[in-house]
């Protein structure tokens, strides 16, 4: 407390809270401590710092602000392990001891401050400042990736124009996907058709067995059966492909209609930025024309 001077508390008050707390720690000649692991020192430093903020806010002179910090530190030390009744008695005794350091208004404000903070939460202060706490702390180092550097605003796109471009791109992508699906279906049907034909021919009798048949009508009936099955397979595949192509054509036309409608409702392009030099150059011809008109009237 020997290093705490009116100028020192003034500097503490002028700093932001993190820097002010650190400056107060150095003025009190405290060693550096871990804010997370040593919660008792951190809370005690907060209490002393808050007493400075209170005193300055109430208009205490800087000399009296130093006394407020000293009063706070002594009160916290002397009330360790005491009951709340004893703490109130100690507070009253210290106020009488310090009554020569403050005027009546400031002494009353100091009494109200400690009654509303320290005495009201006395058990909490005792629990934190008087009992050793077991701290289970896990520290995890997480690497934070900074966001990418944004492009200049001059290279940006208007939000309405960007949404319009996104919608047009989605419709174009959907059209390409429809055409791709038709090609994929065509390849799939060709493979399926070849498989079905191979299966149909495989269940028939082999050519050597057909030649061994004694009657010509049996070989003809088998051949006709093969031809009919092949034609039915091709017709079924072509029918499915044709139906899908027709539906895809209607879908593509609908997509193109949507694109056309969107293009007609496209937002207007943003107006170009006009600098001060350009504005002056544009206004110059108007001013010269007005001057010429005034001169012509004067001649008349």
pLDDT tens, 196-244? 777 777 644 444 444 444 444 447 777 777 778 878 878 888 888 888 8
Q: Please give the DSSP secondary-structure letter assigned to residue 15.
A: S
- Calculate the dihedral angle through the C-alpha atoms of 41, 42, 45, 46, rounding to the nearest 10 degrees: -150
Residue-level pLDDT at 113? 93
Q: How would you label 196-224 residue by residue, b for 16+ Cβ within 10 Å and e otherwise? A: beeebeeeeeeeeeeeeeeeeeebeeeee
Residue 259 pLDDT > 60, yes or no?
A: yes
Model confidence at 287, pLDDT cuts 50, 70, 90, reads low
Residue-level pLDDT at 57? 92
Is 271 buried (19+), middle (13-18) or exposed (0-12) by CB count in 10 A? exposed
Cα 19-21-23 angle, rounded to 5 deg: 70
What pTM was estimated for this model as a whole?
A: 0.45
pLDDT digits (tens, 9 = 90+) for 15-50: 998 999 898 888 888 888 887 777 788 888 999 999
Average pLDDT over residues 171-185: 88
Is 94 buried (19+), middle (13-18) or exposed (0-12) by CB count in 10 A? middle
Residue 108 pLDDT > 50, yes or no?
A: yes
148 token code pair: 């990418």
How many CA atoms lie within 13 Å of 202's alpha carbon, on the beta-carbon side? Answer: 6
């Amino acid at each position: 407390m020997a290093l705490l001077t009116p100028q020192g508390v003034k500097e503490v008050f002028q700093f932001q809270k993190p820097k002010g707390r650190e400056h107060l720690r150095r003025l009190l000649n405290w060693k550096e401590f871990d804010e997370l692991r040593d919660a008792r020192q951190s809370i005690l430093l907060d209490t002393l710092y808050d007493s400075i903020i209170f005193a300055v806010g109430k208009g205490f002179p800087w000399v009296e602000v130093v006394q407020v910090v000293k009063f706070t530190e002594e009160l916290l030390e002397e009330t360790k392990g005491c009951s709340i009744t004893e703490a109130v008695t100690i507070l009253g005794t210290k106020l009488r001891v310090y009554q020569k350091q403050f005027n009546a208004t400031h002494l009353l404000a100091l009494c109200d401050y400690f009654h509303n903070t320290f005495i009201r939460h006395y058990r909490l202060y005792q629990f934190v400042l008087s009992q050793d706490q077991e701290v289970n702390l896990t520290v995890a180092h997480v690497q934070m990736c900074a966001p990418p550097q944004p492009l200049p605003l001059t290279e940006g796109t208007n939000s309405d124009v960007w949404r319009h471009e996104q919608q047009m791109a989605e419709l174009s992508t959907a059209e390409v996907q429809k055409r791709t699906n038709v090609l994929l279906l065509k390849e799939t049907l060709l493979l399926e058709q070849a498989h079905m034909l191979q299966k149909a021919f495989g269940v028939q009798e082999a050519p050597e067995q057909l030649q061994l048949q004694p009657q010509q009508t049996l070989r003809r009936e088998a051949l006709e059966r093969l031809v009919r099955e092949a034609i039915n397979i091709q017709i079924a595949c072509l029918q499915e492909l044709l139906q899908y192509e027709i539906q895809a054509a209607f879908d593509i036309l609908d997509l193109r209609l949507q694109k056309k409608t969107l293009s007609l409702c496209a937002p207007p392009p943003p107006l170009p930025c006009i600098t001060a030099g350009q504005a002056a150059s544009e206004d110059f011809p108007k001013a010269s024309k007005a001057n010429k008109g005034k001169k012509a009237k004067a001649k008349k």
